[in-house]
Structure 1
Amino acid sequence: MDKKEFTISEVIDSIGISGHTWTVFILLAFAMIFDGYDFMIVNSTNLFVAHTFWPNDPNPGALMGSLTTWGLLGMVLGGAVGGILSDRFGRKKTLVIAVMFYGLFTLPQAFANDLAFFAAFRLIAGFGVGSCIPVVTTVFSESMPSKQRGVFVTFGMAFMVVGWVLAGLIANPICNAAGPILGGFTNEVTYTMADGSTATMFANWRLCYLIGAIPLIYGIVLIFFMHETPHWYANSGNKVMACKRLTQIEQATRHTSHEYDPALLIVPPKPAKTGPSVLFSSKFIVATCAIWAAYFVGQFCVYGMNAWIPTWFVGLGYSQADSVALQTWNNVAAIASNITVGFVSDKVGRKRNLAFSWLFCIVAIVLCSLFVAPNSMGLCIALMLLFGFALNYAITAVQPLMPESYPTAIRNTGTSWCQAFARFGGSASSIVLGGIAGMAFFQTAAGTTNWSTVVLVLIVPFALGFVCTVLFVKETAGKTMDQLAAEEEKLGASESDGNTRFFIMLAIVAILAILCIVCPLVVPAWSKQPYALPLMAIGLLLPFAYFFVFGGAQLAKNKAAMSKK
């Protein structure tokens, strides 16, 4: 046994890519596939669910957009609570419970006949989905060698998009089947079309939600094959189990019997506080502003576009099947971008890569707005591939920064609260874009929505994402988790002065929710009101005002402190 002090990161880096690495990768990959399916199945079936719930309304607008929103709101709650539970009780326990939870509560959605029932179970299932994603990101960051960490984190997220693609591939033939697949359970529905005529379909979409219960079985697999991370053991005070896991990892790779002495294990000091308010302390506020701003932009644009892409192309004259197929092509490109972004991020750095990605998104959305056209399926596929690649490249480029921004004791709290906040952007986006689509400015002469104009609204968040990246993102590529923690210590900033900033952010989130989610769903003809667009703009821009004020002030203090050293 060596008598030299060591850290968890040093041992994992010395072992490198191993059999343990690939075991963790595969287990987490399947968790993300099921997670992605559970989310995207709503966007892939929403046209058919809408026909079932509102057969006499050819344009449910914000109500149809809310089909996506309820799951995202559940993800907000799940992310906020799940991250804290993961930091306290462990990554494995939280992941197993989350996977089985969303599988269990996706099942009842197959039996829904109205929005209230469907929304209730989407909300509950979303709690599990929201808990799962940040745990996966954190486990990847704690299990992978430093030099390849970005690749594995972003590659792992690609499997969530695989779930998105599977949702489209499964939903399209099922929902468009000419007859009932499950007899009376998938009942016939007569609905009104935009031109006033009627058509019929079968509620085969219900089968898609029965399939969504498969994670119940996968949770059992995780119980037997998933292991806790050494980082969590060490920072929970259990150095013996941390060293035991390191020995097991090394034995699985090198087939040696090397044992690590718990007395020699160096564990970085924990923050003075471990609740969510510490994320807004002087020590972490700049990092929080960086990742919260960037991920909010990504979630708003990804989930808003996925919710309305089928409607956009139906409006251009494409069939429902072709429209869902175009959405699926958009997500196929996302897989390629998620695989690519990690390699580039590790090579050129997190900050440069993310800044470039927002500019790429602006170019892509302008091209899509200008060139999408009816009766040009090949061209539209190419444009959806371009936009899907660009947008998902950007949102995935943020992923490595989340766990790298915080020490182990609050890593999953930081990651999950970032994702929870960003999902308010995703929750609002489908409703906001649906509301904007009903405004006179975005209507054609024939009175239909000009979605090619609506999507240009996304230039604003893309530009904000670029500015926040340039201002707040700190380079973390290639550094061990322990090095990153040590760099934060050098600043000497406080860890316990974040309460006021935390409550201000909670108030801003409440305002955002009221103006961009509650009002469009509750106020009659909200999108027709002259004050609707300005109020929604205020709700969406308030967080960025917060980032510029508080993040900018602390950034100036940090630079002044470093210049004195």
Structure 2
Amino acid sequence: MSQQSTRTNSLISRVRAGASRGQVIAAVLSWLTVTLEGFELVTLGAIIPTFLDTQYLGMGVAETTFIATLSLVGVGLGASGIGPIADRFGRRVALIGSVLVFSVFTLLQPLSSTVALFAGLRFVAGLGLGACMPAALAIMAEVTPAAHRAKAATITMTGYHVGAVAASLTAIVVLPHWQWLFWIGGAIGLVLLPIMWFALPESKPQATPDAPKVPLSALLRAPYLRPSIGVWIGSFMGLLLVYGLLTWLPQIMKAAGYSLDSSLVMLFIMNVGAIVGLLVAGWVGDTKGIKPSILVWYLLAALFLALLSIRMTNTVLLNAVVFVAGVFVFSAQVLIYALVSHLFHRDVRATALGLTAGIGRLGAILGPLVTGSLVSAGLGHPWGFYAFALVAILALGAIALAPKDPPTLEGHV
């Protein structure tokens, strides 16, 4: 082997090693960002029973429902708006900016003097929270081979439920001093910012030479119209289900006769199930196909949610059903994001993810609102779980409309 060839191979090895390190850094920072999002979004559901018991700032069910709804309006707007920004300026700028917004406004929330101010700060924090997930998932899609995108999406989203587990455990420790949940989450975000600034590599979609760009309007016509409708409706139903549960599960179970501590433990167990489900779903999605996996997952989610409508006195059985419900409910929704990454071309992938998440966030807004109405009427248990099971079936039907494989675009290989 010539000296020139040796130098060339050495250079290639160094480039590959650098790319691998960059991919690992991008993956870890994306995961940590999603972890913070999970911590912050589950925090409100964990403290709602305390707000209601103490009537903080005069809060009742109507006020907490308003705060949860406005928060998720912000999350939806953030998710919808971040895609074009990430596609134009890069995922790094989008992700760092979103963390900055939600960290600052999260720290300000315990200082609120009125319900309106608390809701307004929660809304602005929601803009940053909503932007995190599409940006992080887009980064993961860019640095991950196509054959492993289901695992990439589900592993990234385990961060959300690790954050949710951390929020549940922290709530058990610090309540009734709920302010600590906001201070901890906001402070960690601020600590993460300089690390992201210096360590997070840029990730932008690279244009294919001589290949036409895919315009945004292409998502609304063939061959993207069918997958767009399927994943949008599926995401709407999936996030209606996810956020209805995360926001109101402790209060529903408390109203059903379980203690507050037991209700918070159930929130913890459901999110542990979600982490297990995400790890299993990623492997199943990559080996058996993403779309078939989603269909099976939503069918099983509907079954176990329906079982939770039954009042159980055996704690082990109850927690087992909660755990298995968590396994299927949350990972089914994340598999939809993996399906988007699979079906949509890289030139519009961040925008497609953002729109899917944004439209899904409309369901996230409706979920706490509808569930809160049922709780207010004294129907949270069992009717809340009947409604959740129905929503899972509707999500299944929507994903059945989407194709299994990506369309072939003229000018693209």
Task: Indicate conservation of the 8 Å contact 1:75/1:129, yes or no.
Answer: yes
Task: Indicate conservation of the 8 Å contact 1:40/1:167, yes or no.
Answer: yes
Displacement of 1:267 in angstroms is: 6.5
Amino acid at match of 2:269: W
Matching residue within 198, 202, 206 for 2:179? 206
Task: Indicate conservation of the 8 Å contact 2:303/2:389, yes or no.
Answer: no
Task: Indicate conservation of the 8 Å contact 1:110/1:208, yes or no.
Answer: no
Once residues 347 and 335 of structure 2 are traced to their aligned partners in structure 1, the CA distance between those partners, rounded to angstroms, is: 23
Displacement of 1:110 in angstroms is: 1.4
Displacement of 1:268 in angstroms is: 4.0
**For residues 353-403 of structure 1, what are the alpha-carbon distances to aligned partners after superposition, in whole Å with 9 as ceiling and x for unaligned?**
111111111211122223x325x3322211210111120121122121122
Task: Indicate conservation of the 8 Å contact 1:349/1:475, yes or no.
Answer: no
User: Structure 1's 301 and 287: CA in aligned 2 closer, same or farther, altered over 3 A?
Assistant: same
Once residues 88 and 52 of structure 1 are traced to their aligned partners in structure 2, the CA distance between those partners, rounded to angstroms, is: 47
Task: Indicate conservation of the 8 Å contact 1:292/1:422, yes or no.
Answer: yes
User: Structure 1's 56 and 149: CA in aligned 2 closer, same or farther, altered over 3 A?
Assistant: closer
Amino acid at match of 1:359: L
The 5 A counterparts of 1:44-83 are 44-53=46-55, 60-83=60-83
Task: Indicate conservation of the 8 Å contact 2:298/2:396, yes or no.
Answer: yes
User: Structure 1's 227 and 47: CA in aligned 2 closer, same or farther, altered over 3 A?
Assistant: same
Displacement of 1:405 in angstroms is: 2.9
Matching residue within 476, 479, 489 for 2:410? 489
SS in 1 for 2:309: helix
Q: Which residue of 1 aligns with 2:338?
A: 400
Q: Which residue of 2 aligns with 1:170?
A: 170
Displacement of 1:460 in angstroms is: 2.3
Task: Indicate conservation of the 8 Å contact 2:98/2:128, yes or no.
Answer: yes
Once residues 130 and 324 of structure 1 are traced to their aligned partners in structure 2, the CA distance between those partners, rounded to angstroms, is: 24
User: Structure 1's 153 and 450: CA in aligned 2 closer, same or farther, altered over 3 A?
Assistant: closer
Amino acid at match of 1:461: V
Once residues 196 and 129 of structure 2 are traced to their aligned partners in structure 1, the CA distance between those partners, rounded to angstroms, is: 16
Once residues 93 and 330 of structure 1 are traced to their aligned partners in structure 2, the CA distance between those partners, rounded to angstroms, is: 33
Once residues 273 and 125 of structure 2 are traced to their aligned partners in structure 1, the CA distance between those partners, rounded to angstroms, is: 27
Check if 1:423 corresponds to 2:361: yes
**Which segment is superposed worse, 403-412 or 215-224?**
403-412
Once residues 321 and 387 of structure 1 are traced to their aligned partners in structure 2, the CA distance between those partners, rounded to angstroms, is: 20
**For residues 409-451 of structure 1, what are the alpha-carbon distances to aligned partners after superposition, in whole Å with 9 as ceiling and x for unaligned?**
3221111111011111111111112213445xxxxxxxx4351
The 5 A counterparts of 1:304-343 are 304-343=244-283
Once residues 32 and 295 of structure 2 are traced to their aligned partners in structure 1, the CA distance between those partners, rounded to angstroms, is: 30
User: Structure 1's 488 and 49: CA in aligned 2 closer, same or farther, altered over 3 A?
Assistant: farther
Task: Indicate conservation of the 8 Å contact 1:37/1:164, yes or no.
Answer: yes
Displacement of 1:306 in angstroms is: 1.5
Q: TM-score, normalised by structure 1?
A: 0.67
- Structure number with higher helix proportion: 2
**For residues 187-211 of structure 1, what are the alpha-carbon distances to aligned partners after superposition, in whole Å with 9 as ceiling and x for unaligned?**
xxxxxxxxxxxxxxxxx11111111
Task: Indicate conservation of the 8 Å contact 2:48/2:251, yes or no.
Answer: no
Displacement of 1:122 in angstroms is: 0.7
Matching residue within 42, 45, 49 for 1:43? 45
**Which segment is superposed worse, 166-175 or 45-54?**
45-54
Check if 1:221 corresponds to 2:189: no
Displacement of 1:22 in angstroms is: 2.4
Root-mean-square deviation (Å): 2.5
User: Structure 1's 490 and 350: CA in aligned 2 closer, same or farther, altered over 3 A?
Assistant: farther
Once residues 390 and 264 of structure 2 are traced to their aligned partners in structure 1, the CA distance between those partners, rounded to angstroms, is: 26
**For residues 513-554 of structure 1, what are the alpha-carbon distances to aligned partners after superposition, in whole Å with 9 as ceiling and x for unaligned?**
xxxxxxxxxxxxxxxxxxxxxxxxxxxxxxxxxxxxxxxxxx
Amino acid at match of 1:473: P
Q: Which residue of 2 aligns with 1:479?
A: none
Amino acid at match of 2:394: L
Amino acid at match of 1:211: I
The 5 A counterparts of 1:447-462 are 448-449=378-379, 451-462=381-392
Once residues 366 and 400 of structure 2 are traced to their aligned partners in structure 1, the CA distance between those partners, rounded to angstroms, is: 25
Amino acid at match of 2:232: W
Displacement of 1:55 in angstroms is: 7.3
The 5 A counterparts of 1:321-470 are 321-370=261-310, 372-374=311-313, 376-439=314-377, 448-449=378-379, 451-470=381-400
Check if 1:301 corresponds to 2:241: yes
Q: TM-score, normalised by structure 2?
A: 0.90
Displacement of 1:225 in angstroms is: 0.6
User: Structure 1's 490 and 270: CA in aligned 2 closer, same or farther, altered over 3 A?
Assistant: closer
Number of residue-to-residue matches in the alignment? 399
Bigger RCO of structures 1 and 2 (CA < 8 A, at least 6 apart): 2
Q: Which residue of 1 aligns with 2:32?
A: 30
Displacement of 1:490 in angstroms is: 8.1
Check if 1:118 corresponds to 2:118: yes
- The gaps in structure 2 that reach 5 residues or longer are 6-15
User: Structure 1's 117 and 345: CA in aligned 2 closer, same or farther, altered over 3 A?
Assistant: same
Once residues 347 and 192 of structure 2 are traced to their aligned partners in structure 1, the CA distance between those partners, rounded to angstroms, is: 28
Identical positions, percent: 23
Task: Indicate conservation of the 8 Å contact 1:53/1:114, yes or no.
Answer: no
Displacement of 1:453 in angstroms is: 2.8
User: Structure 1's 53 and 417: CA in aligned 2 closer, same or farther, altered over 3 A?
Assistant: farther
